Amino acid sequence: MNAPESGLILDAVDRQIIRATQAGLPLVPQPYHAVAAQLGLAAGEVMARIERMQAAGIIRRIGLVPNHYALGYSANGMTVWDVADDRAEAMGEQVGRLAFVSHCYLRPRHLPAWPYNLFAMVHGRSRQEVAGKVAVIAALLGDACHGHDVLYSSRILKKTGLRLTD
Amino acid sequence: MAAEKIPTPTLPINGEGDNPLPRGRGRLGGGAVDDLDETDRRIINALQGGFPVCERPFQQAAETLGLDEQTLIERIEHLLAQKVLSRFGPLYNADRMGGRNVLAAMAVPEDRYEAVAEAVNALPEIAHNYRREHALNMWFVAASDSDATLEAAFRRIEQETGLPVYRFPKEREFFVELKLTV
C-alpha cells in the first residue's frame, strides 16, 4: 500500500466502516447507529471516524449520487486532445477551468494507436450541445493541439464505485 | 469546492436528445426525469453533498428542505428504486486511501463484446465500465487502495480475454466535480 496523500492511516475499524457504507447508508432514521450496530461499535465512534475521514478527504462528500442519464444528461463525451507536451500543463489548467468540464486529466499516450494526452469529460443533454462545447475547447487550445476526438458513451456496463475487497 | 463551476442547465424534455442509449442492460426507462416532482428535484439539488453526520441526519436534512424525516427517507428510497439515483451515502476517494483509480481501455471484437464485459465486470476492482464509440470500445476504471491489486486485475483481464489492456493512469488532475441540477 502506498503512503496515503491525506496523511491519515486507515485502521481495521475504518476499513470495516468503509466496507459497510461504500454501497450506501441504511435508509433508516439513525443510519450511523445502524452501521454501528452491524459492526458492534458505538454510534459515536462510527460518526467520529466518518467525520475524520471526511476531513482527510477520504470521503469526498456524503449525499446522493444522481444517475446522469436519468436526469436527462444523455450525451456523455470523453473529449481527448493531442496537446504539445511543453504546453499540456498550462492548457490543462485552462480547460479544467471551463464550467462545463467535469473532469480533466493528463494521461499517457499509447503511440501510434493513441496520440491523445489531455482528457476532458463533457456532459450534455444532446450531442449537439456537447459538440458546441468541444468547439470552445478547440478554440482555447488553438495551435497547441494537433488533433482531437470525442468518444461518446453508448452504454453503461457497470457503475458501482469503489469497493474494498479485503 | 469550485462552486462557481457548477452548471445550471434547464430541465430536458422527455426522452429527447440525439443520443438514445440502446435498450437493455444499463438502459433506463424513458422519461425518468419527467416523473420527478418539485420535492424530488429539491432533494436532488440539495443533497448531492452535505448530508449531516449526527444522531438523526435525515431529520436534520429534512428540516432544511421543509419536509419530515419519514418523507425524505421514502423519497430517497423511491429515487434509488427508480434508478434516478445510483447511490446514497459516502463517496469515497480511492486516491486518498493510498491507492488509485486507473482508467483503462480495450479494443474488443464485437462478437465477443458481451463475454468480455462480463469478465471485466466480474472483478470487484472495476468501479465503472462504459461502452464508447471508438476502436477502443470498452473503457473502465479500476479502483483500489493498493496499486498491486489494480495491476493484478488488469493482468487477469488480459489473461482471461487475450486482449491488451491499455492503462491510462492520471499524470495530472486538473479538476473533479460535477453537480447536476434538475
Please check whether the two domains, A12-56 and A68-152, share a CATH topology. no
CATH topology of domain A68-152: Alpha-Beta Plaits (3.30.70)
In 3D space, the residue among B33, B4, B177, B74 whose CA is nearest the CA of residue A27 turns out to be B74
Cell of B156: 487477469
CB pairs A-B closer than 8 Å: 311
Hey, is the C-beta of B157 within 8 angstroms of any chain A C-beta?
Answer: no
Which sequence spans correspond to the domains of chain B? 38-82, 94-169
Quote ipTM for the complex. 0.71
Which DSSP letter does residue A142 get?
G
Question: Mean pLDDT, to the nearest integer, of B38-67?
Answer: 95
Out of 1.25.40, 2.70.70, 1.10.10, 1.10.3470, the CATH code matching A12-56 is 1.10.10
Q: Could you say which of A3, A92, A155 has the minimum Cβ distance to residue B130?
A: A155
Nearest CA in chain B to A68: B180
Nearest CA in chain B to A105: B173
Is B94 in Cβ contact with A157 (below 8 Å)? no
Which residues in chain A are closer than 8 Å to B172, comparing Cβ atoms? 89, 92, 105-106
Hey, is the C-beta of A37 within 8 angstroms of any chain B C-beta?
Answer: no
Contact B154, B165 (CB under 8 A): yes
Which residues in chain B are closer than 8 Å to A65, comparing Cβ atoms? 48, 85-88, 91
Q: Does residue A164 or residue A83 have the better pLDDT?
A: A83
> In whole numbers, what is the pLDDT of chain A averaged over residues?
89
Cell of B14: 422527455
Residue B130 pLDDT greater than 80, yes or no: yes
Which residues lie below 8 Å from residue B173, measured CB to CB, with a gap of 6+? Answer: A103, A104, A105
pLDDT at A132: 95
pLDDT band at A65 (very low <50, low <70, confident <90, very high): confident
pLDDT at B23: 34
Is B53 in Cβ contact with A62 (below 8 Å)? yes
Hey, is the C-beta of A38 within 8 angstroms of any chain B C-beta?
Answer: no
| C-alpha distances out from residue A96 to A104, A106, A126, B13, B53, Å | 5, 11, 21, 29, 31
Q: DSSP H helical segments within A27-126, as ranges?
A: 31-39, 43-55, 85-97
pLDDT band at B165 (very low <50, low <70, confident <90, very high): very high
Is B121 in Cβ contact with A158 (below 8 Å)? yes
pLDDT digits (tens, 9 = 90+) for B91-120: 887 667 766 789 999 999 999 999 999 999
pLDDT at B12: 30
Which sequence spans correspond to the domains of chain A? 12-56, 68-152
Which residues in chain B are closer than 8 Å to A103, comparing Cβ atoms? 173, 175-176, 178
Nearest CA in chain A to B18: A126
Residue A115 Cα, gap to closest chain B Cα (Å): 12
CATH topology of domain B94-169: Alpha-Beta Plaits (3.30.70)
Q: Does residue B39 or residue B6 have the better pLDDT?
A: B39
